[in-house]
Structure 1
Amino acid sequence: MAITILITDDQPLQRMGMRMFLDGQPDIDVVGEAANGDDAVRLVAELQPDVVLMDIRMPGMDGIAATRNIVDKKSGTAGPWVLLLTTFDLDEYVLAGLEAGASGFLTKDAEPADLLSAIRAVAAGDAVIAPAATRRLIDRLAAQSRQAPLRQGAHAPTTVNQLSAREREILIAIGHGLTNSEIAARLYLAESTVKNYVGRIFTKINARDRVQAVIIAYRADLVRADDDPDAVEQNP
């Protein structure tokens, strides 16, 4: 079954180029285009796409407000999932978009193969944020007030107190941008075991995905900008 896509961008040429490329993929179906956040919210309700490609800076309702509106109206664990498109890698608006509920971001000059991979990952319920970008995300968080609230609907960082020692260890590793396979190698666990831990952790801290888990880990002071990601403890 094809992944259905809604493209949201205020530039007609940007929408047209993206549509032409995506419509040429056998597993992707572009079902609509929106020129601003208001149109995106309306078309999501009407078309129920799997993934929304969301420009951030648009006139009227911007991509951050539209993302929050779309995510807050979601029910269950199904889509639509929002993938932010930004001109600058982790610009000042990206963090706000991630906290609003986006599942990741790409720059508009990303390679076509990276765009396809990101769409497929987001459609599968995964987050799209590379370890290097995770470090910059933590740096951005460090520059903000620790009193900044999590997005509406998220539990306070005190929920990390519910985690076992091993779960906290794995959440810290997630906060440093490690993948499940990297965590498994570092902690001498089976990757399937790590995957099970991650699922339980997300449930306990009410994290939608790895992006939000990074934010919660930082807000709870489990991860700091000056931490060494190679210093993850290895408990037996």
Structure 2
Amino acid sequence: MKKISRVVIAFALLLALSVSLFHTSASAITTTERNRNEIYSQLVARGLTKAQACGILANIEYESSYNPNAWYKNISYGLCQWQGDRLKVFQDTYKTEAQRASIYNQISYLFTELNGKEKNAYKKSIVPYTKNTADEAYNVGYMFCLKFERPLDQKTNPVNRGNKAKELFAMNFTTTSSSVKKSSKKTSTVSKLKTYTTGRYKTTAKLKVRTSATTSSKSVGVLKKGAKVTVKSVKSKKWGKITYKKKSRYVSLDYAKKV
């Protein structure tokens, strides 16, 4: 009987572990799918066909795996891995770092670019491809990679993203027609500009310490959540100048509160 009991207990533990692992995996998959569906909804809500949306989705999958909080080597951030001047414009527009912005704001900025400085990319990768077919999805994925993302490898990357777009086109997406309207209500609060002054602040999240007042500048350290700092001056409306390791550095005051 004791032997049988041990076997039963061992089986029960194994079953519990299997359920736990499955739950963890399913949660991760659900998060990715939810983000992908949300991005797709935002794209088609702005007038794109399924083929056009899948072409852009394929590029976003390769850039960030649909993770709006993605960042790479303190250089590129967000769904489309913005960097340099394009990242700075994002920051100035939404008053937050790209990887902390909502999916709605990131897709809104994507279209701001396509209607502005990246209008040529829009004309070359979206406008010509109006047929709602798998081949057209490939064309958009291929051209969007070349004209908008502009990777160093312009041979294999466009092909891979074009093929991924065809795969996505064969899938069924869950769209939420009200997603744009719901998110737009949040945008107004995110976009409001706070006024910061000098004094003592306490961080409300982990905060990168930078060499200058921009998210594109080099990160030289991280302040833990709850750390207290003295802001000597404020630059570009949201960047607090502090002393860090005996040098003048900057932190974003969007993630700190005055004490």
TM-score by length of 1: 0.27
- From the CA coordinates, give the structure whose radius of gyration is larger: 2
Structure with the bigger percentage of helix: 2
